[in-house]
Amino acid sequence: MTTSEILLDPYDYDFHEDPYPYYQRLRDEAPLYHNPDLGFWALSRHRDVLTGFRNSTTLSNKFGVSLDPASRGPHASKTMSFLAMDDPAHLRLRTLVSKGFTPRRIRELEPRVTEIAVAHLDTLLDKAADGETVDYVDEFAGKLPMDVISELMGVPQADRAQVRAWADGVMHRDEGVTDVPPAAVEASINLIVYYQNMVAERRAALTDDLTSALLEAEIDGDRLTDDEILGFMFLMVIAGNETTTKLLANAAFWGHRNPDQLTPVYDDLSRVPLWVEETLRYDTSSQILARTVVGELTLYDTVIPDGEVLLLLPGSAHRDERVFDDPDDYVIGREIGSKLMSFGSGAHFCLGAHLARMEARVALAELFTRIRGYEVDEANAVRVHSSNVRGFAHLPIHVKVR
């Protein structure tokens, strides 16, 4: 199947508005797709994407997991930590980080996540009480995840707005820009310098936060270097912050579009996790992840040469009718289980999956204890334009407060 017959361009704004018809054609007509102009191959069917995630020998992470030129290359692990490594380096770093980033630490964080969510909701609902439209992303979904990461790391309250602004700056892309703009580079440097100072402070005097736990993490005398800790902190900002923001806004958007599915959630908040899972399936934040072929790989009678970029498309896999019944319907409570790939699969399964699910559950449950309905102003909603994540930069809503 040639590029001229089907075009997959991860930088195309039409594709960002609705990638799913493109994915459908790929799954049906070009399950192994090649775009020689942009220099990548792509897998779109559920079975192939899952197999791809689990093949961490032939499909390497060490040049990064993004198609963007500035994020690709042997330096990728500086900002993407063990996500941009292969074993044994990946396993070593991940195991050390896991010593600090424990399920117990995440569980113990939940009361603080609730407090942070409530504080942001107070502001949002104060504005909404006057009948004005509020931006769900600006006031809530865009603030909570980064503040939770700052809470986890031990960033002082007074610095959190600034840290959040730098994190936003790192991710921002203007229209037509496929590479990292100077403003994002500057924001990245500011963030790294800030974290460097934090690590130095903890080296002098440990506290009860994740930064200190990472400094203390040790296996048989092996410890994390400052650069490794910084790389992981930066990964949290890029991978942990942005994807959770998108998840919260995607849940709100698709809930609004499917009121029949959302109505039961107001009456039974135990359904919130099901709402989160269906959003992760139906419109996942992480749509496209890159791998680099090592040696060569034969798929669909085609040899993909060494060094080529292969894109895995979980966004497409989750709409594969070979695996899900009526995949284009948004059905809260459908059976998903292990078929979900929003957090990857295999050796690189997302270490922050527990944290993301907990944040989303807490945030949406707190929201629904305090409102009895909302409407999205779709005409003024603004999508994020990114080659690998999907979600909203702005989501204006009208809220009915309880």
Q: What is the pTM of this model?
A: 0.95
Q: How far apart are the first and last CA of the chain?
A: 54
Query: Are 306 and 326 within 8 A, CB to CB?
Result: no
Burial class (CB in 10 A: 0-12, 13-18, 19+), 134: buried
Q: Is the peptide bond before 88 cis (omega within 30 degrees of 0)?
A: yes
Mean pLDDT, range 166-172, rounded to an integer: 81
Residue 1 confidence class, pLDDT cut points 50, 70, 90? very low
67-82 CB burial, b ≥16 within 10 A, e <16? bbebbbeeebbebbbb
Q: What pLDDT does residue 156 have?
A: 96
Encode pLDDT of 339-384 as tens digits.
Answer: 999 999 999 999 999 999 999 999 999 999 999 999 999 999 999 8
Q: Is the model's pLDDT at 145 over the cut of 80?
A: yes
Instruction: Write out the E strands in 177-280.
Output: 218-219, 222-223
Mean pLDDT over the full length of the chain: 94
For residue range 36-66, what is the model confidence (pLDDT) as tens digits? 999 999 999 999 999 999 999 999 999 999 9
* Residue 233 CB contacts under 8 Å (≥ 6 apart), including other chains: 153, 195, 211
Asked whether the predicted pLDDT for residue 175 surpasses 80, the reply is no
Residues 6 or more apart whose Cβ sits within 8 Å of residue 54 = 345, 346, 347
Q: Which residue has the tokens 């997959």?
A: 8
* Cα–Cα distance measured from residue 78 to residue 66, given in angstroms and rounded to the nearest whole number: 14
**Phi then psi dihedrals of residue 35, to 5 deg:** -120, 95
pLDDT in tens, 311-334: 999 999 999 999 999 999 999 999
% of the chain exceeding 90 in pLDDT:
84
What is the tens place of the pLDDT at every residue in 187-232?
A: 889 999 999 999 999 999 999 999 999 999 999 999 999 999 999 9
**Residue 71 pLDDT greater than 90, yes or no:** no
Tokens of 137: 């992303």
Return the percent helix, strand and coil in the chain, to nearest 5.
55, 10, 35
pLDDT at 215: 97
* Domains of the chain, each with CATH number or no CATH: 13-401 (1.10.630.10)
Tokens of 91: 């396993």
